[in-house]
Structure 1
Amino acid sequence: MTGNLSFFSELNKRVGGKVKFGDGSYVDICGKCSILLVGKTGEQQLLTDIYYIPSFQSNIISLGQATESGCDIRMKDDYLLMYDDQGKLLMRVTRSKNRLYTIKLKTGKPVCLQARIDNENWVWHARLGHLNFESMKQMVKNNMVVGMPKVDQENQICDSCLVGKQTRKPFPKSATFRATRALELIHGNLCGPITPSTLVGNRYVFVLIDDFSRFMWTFLLKEKSEAFDTFKRFKVMVEAENSEKIKTFRTDRGGEFTSHDFNRFSENEGFIRHLTERRNRTILDTARSILKARLDPSIIVSKFEDEEDFDATRYRKIVRCLRYLLQTRPDLAYSVGVVSRYMQNPKQSQATLIKQILRYIQGTLCFGISYTRGKNVLVGYSDSSHNIDQDDGRSTTGHVFYLGTSPITWCSQKQCTVALSSCEAEYIAASAAACQAVWLKDLISELFDKEIQAVALRIDNTSAIALVKNPVFHGRTKHIKSRFHYIRECVDREEVSVEHVSGVKQCADILTKALGRIKFKEMRELLGVEDLSVSSSKFRG
């Protein structure tokens, strides 16, 4: 237990409850996660299931919980010794005068793969789906991968593994039974439903593993009910290839494996049924780790990085194609805007960003904007990210305008001057959005032959709104160029009305900065970009 929030790199706030002490008092649990401890040699050890208690002033390690996780605790003379499940010494603590065991531990941060991508050990770790280093060493030893270099054991933990592979309880170090020949024991499990589904509508992954060879087969299914027929085809295939019969089939207790048809089939075919589960977690851990590394918003690029150049002609060709795609994909506006800043002399890091964008596009080919009929109400959203560019410290402007419920124009652009505060950055962004609002107002008025009322421009910064509405606020605005005060004139002429919107409803947020995977998905839906494959028509109404 700890009250220091800085110890955690990730915190599961869904875990709650209370802890009772010997004097009958209670304290509230506000989350649970893991902490990385750093030894004297720099080696990292993961301490799991740590409760976060804000009112707690001390840090306590439960010896009972440590023994449950496989640790060996020994007390002799004036010392407490803690060993891991492999007999390695973790801690040696001297008993204090009040008969407590107090130790000063150093916490650390997991390895960021983007920062260690030049290290072959970490490159192969990511390439093999965040496989542990011990297994990688065995692959090299047995010549299982062509071209794989010798891998040294790393004493640190990958940040993506830490987030993607967190679990409640470790699995046993070794199985109680291992097969001695092929098909003697087959493990099976069904994972899903997975969101989003594949392009052809598959939502489940059916995994089958031979315990002897550890060979794994995966089948994509649309429904859980397809598992039975898939297993029957699998049985015929592998028994013909190996000239052996499946002796035992081990699965979980899911209804797809305990149905009357499946039980009758096993009795008729003469194989034994076992019930347990493991492989799906391995697959999901790998997927989560890869996704976490691929969509990490903390990636920083700069034109001053000392690294290898990338083919400028090829780089510009790809970026031009991406910019053409922005006509229908506003969710790409910020990322494509970033890579467009390095057309003159692109580096390998900028080329890596392009690859990430292309991978994202490959997975969202059916995404776009759906337009519906409704009231022709024009509404705009304006936002900015302050001092986000690493080269010149400039902020990024983002705005999007909706006619009814659908976006009709959007922009993500680096500001032309350095803002001294987030308020000033929002003010500059709002002025740019006001120019667009006035032009759209005049255009729509001409198209529909009627006067359009003042365009509502929604901003999530109250200080910027106050700056717009208070023209005598001279101390905060005297250094701002006069052309950015255009929005004040628009408000005075009642062409634009400024409104406040909460950050969670700020549609332009996705146009100003890189976001985490979950946040990005939420803001993409809020922006109006959706999966058009689930609709009967791209244009409804």
Structure 2
Amino acid sequence: MEEKVMPVDVPDGVWVLDTGASNHMTGMPSALTQIDTSVRGTVKFGDGSSVRIRGMGSVVMQDRFEGHKVLTEVYYIPELRSNIVSLGQLEEKGFKYVGEKGRLCVYDQEHTLLISAPRVGNRLYLAKFGLTPPVCLLAQSDDKSWNWHARFGHLNFRSLSNLSDKSMVEGLPSIRKVDRVCDGCVLGKQHRKPFPQVSSFRAEKVLDLVHADLCGQITPKSIGGASYFLLVVDDHSRYMWVEMLKTKDQALECFKRITLRAENESGGKLKAIRTDRGDLTGQKMQKFRLLMDRKSAIELSKNPVYHERSKHIDTRYHYIRECVSNGIAEVDHVSTDRQLADILTKPLGRIKFLEMRQLLGVSDVCHD
């Protein structure tokens, strides 16, 4: 069966989202910033023709919140009559695209909508970008609400609106409600408890407690080729041992030698060691799966952006988010009815308790 496909003219400033293109391309030099003319090469099309690459640059787009998004590694090809966005190149950089109901949506690494393109004739997805020159938005802003927010030392917008409505400040314009969260306010309200000046515990004898930490990978390497060093500190005497290591898996044997030497010199025995996450074994933490019944908690663990309602969370509680970012933890959703942790954290009815206990594999060994 042969299907008749009509070509579609692409207007100026419109970009074609293409799954078959190997790279972003444009023929408009005005759309690019910082063009590197040393980049050369050729691009071959499906009909066998080829054109020369005359440089590579970046395209700065403005989103609906007046923020800037950058499309990098865009080829400049003067002979090209269409602007092409390579979906494969975006996906390679961690972007995600979804097509449904006649529209193709592209999301960045933070799951924020970047491009929304409708399907037009010839089954093409076309998007018109609001191109803008790169400027520092902290230094230049046309939004009066944000300007007055900064002038009053990041005073909240509700209070600014009250000052304006009640004419409490001469010259203050009407402040509209702003739905976005100020990043500076959120970061400024992040807090952690101060480090104690004096430890609440101090070992009474040598080797009652030692602290150990494996540091590295160090760049550049030492003269002897070492990329790590092991630091061991006695809690009582504050005596320190430092050993240089070429590989991380040497840490355990090195620590054994330090312990043996210290025990021979002091005449005592090591009682306790304090370290973080088993660095001395030289093994990476095993990947684990965490099931949650709250979708908001899952989004907080996967999204590195600080939310308005999470701005007061102490930074020490961000461990799960770090594990997800490092690929150690995998967070999935489970319905509340199947959340086995509830049997340990909530008072359950008898029927629900027996159901959860059975799912855990716990059997009743006491018989009436």
Same fold (TM > 0.5): no
TM-score (norm 2): 0.39
**The structure with more strand, counted as a fraction of residues:** 2
More helix by share: 1
The one of the two structures with greater contact order (alpha-carbon pairs below 8 A, sep at least 6) is 2
